[in-house]
Structure 1
């Protein structure tokens, strides 16, 4: 199979996945309510906040590229309180991931069926995760630089934490928590529940990707569009393979490189904001 045929195969929607017997109206209504509540307390609310942040940035009489947004800001002036709040942020994201897995488990879909085996394997999960990180990370950096040069994206500070002893461990934990929450909820949970409602694979994938893009709009149009593309790639990979570990590993690697690389180089490279 040549490269063009491979791309066409991956773009073609996979065969519909059966998720159980036909639902009665009450059950369908219950799932819709569940999805709405989950999104309103997690990434759906973040998406609405992202839209408002972008509107505020556009209303500011300064070019988007001249505005700055920090991804990992300090949360308190006192060292140990800042650390505690950073850990609470990590705990919140991990709780979101746990909520998605729990709700799937309650519906009869355990972690293994959602793509999370008890232990990731190198050939099955870790190596593909590194591959996905390269496929998304390097073009993503170029996409950001182009968007920032075109003034359709804010200048992103990947870390604004001071040089505390706990800075690198917190950035690692934040990357892991971000990846776990996003890939579990936005990919495995949302697409699975939309399948249950009878949505097509393409329609479910598009909804998941638009959600991912919405809560990155605080970075600007580039951040939103770039993450929609990432969502399309990650979501289709999960639909075709049923494996979630590669997505979590790839996302965590991308964030770790961005967060830690920025923190370590910020004071030594003149072109970093």
Structure 2
């Protein structure tokens, strides 16, 4: 769902702000408030209710933004995702590269106290996990890359990719230091790939694989 580059106007700038606020103001604010109140030393539990709430939020907000952009005269269509078997295979390779970058980032953090400051727990049902893997990557990559990065393309790769990366980082602030060690390298890889290819589907596939593996490795919290 990439938007073609356009000359910036006052209306386009307002549109950019509206989309950013509608999509990310609430989740980023709530995550930062939680991080401020709880600190880095904490446990994060992914319950079925929490994950289902995220899926519903992204479906509602994503649908509303799609209607908003169409009303603004933007040619936005799901067909622009350009899904194909070839693009899916490209996405698997992109995931492998992104994971190597993330593992390198986490390796640099390994052995420090901050690297172990946040613990993740949960036992989501298969249905909820599948829903999240199907919805979340499409929602996030369409907005991070297809909308924000493309809208800022005229400002050059450094600014466009950097702005998209900053939003991605803020959105995952609840992960603490892991957001820097893992999310940033992956975001750079996905941003660079989309900058050169302008194809969204490989990034969505890579994101979906990462989400699926993260959910599959979650374990129930052990009560002390």
Could you tell me the TM-score, scaled by structure 2's length? 0.80
For residues 241-263 of structure 1, give each alpha carbon's deviation from its aligned partner in whole angstroms, at most 9, with x where no partner exists. 11101111111111111102325
Q: Which has the higher contact order (CA 8 A, sep 6+)?
A: 2
> How far 1:87 sits from its partner (Å)?
4.1
> How far 1:116 sits from its partner (Å)?
0.8
- 2:54 aligned residue: 89
> How far 1:152 sits from its partner (Å)?
2.2
Structure 1: gaps (5+ residues): 1-16, 59-63, 76-84, 162-166
Could you tell me the TM-score, scaled by structure 1's length? 0.68
- The alignment of Structure 1 onto Structure 2 pairs a total of residues equal to 219
Contact persistence 1:209–1:229 (CA under 8 A): no
Equivalents in 1 of 2:62, 2:163: separation in Å?
Answer: 18
Matched, 1:218 2:179: no
Match of 1:183 among 141, 153, 173: 141
Structure 2: gaps (5+ residues): none
Matched, 1:159 2:122: yes
Give matches, 1:105-120, under 5 Å. Answer: 105=70, 106-111=72-77, 115-117=80-82, 120=83
Question: What RMSD over aligned residues (CA atoms) do the two structures have, in Å?
Answer: 3.1
> How far 1:182 sits from its partner (Å)?
0.7
- 1:237 aligned residue: 193
- 1:35 aligned residue: 16
For residues 228-252 of structure 1, give each alpha carbon's deviation from its aligned partner in whole angstroms, at most 9, with x where no partner exists. 2222211111111111011111111
Closer/same/farther in 2, CA of residues 111 and 74 from structure 1, 3 Å limit: closer
- Which one has a larger percent helix, Structure 1 or Structure 2? 2
Q: Which has the larger radius of gyration?
A: 1
For residues 50-88 of structure 1, give each alpha carbon's deviation from its aligned partner in whole angstroms, at most 9, with x where no partner exists. 333333343xxxxx4x52112x2243xxxxxxxxx7545
Equivalents in 1 of 2:119, 2:22: separation in Å?
Answer: 25
> How far 1:142 sits from its partner (Å)?
6.1
Contact persistence 1:31–1:193 (CA under 8 A): no
Match of 1:207 among 154, 159, 163: 163
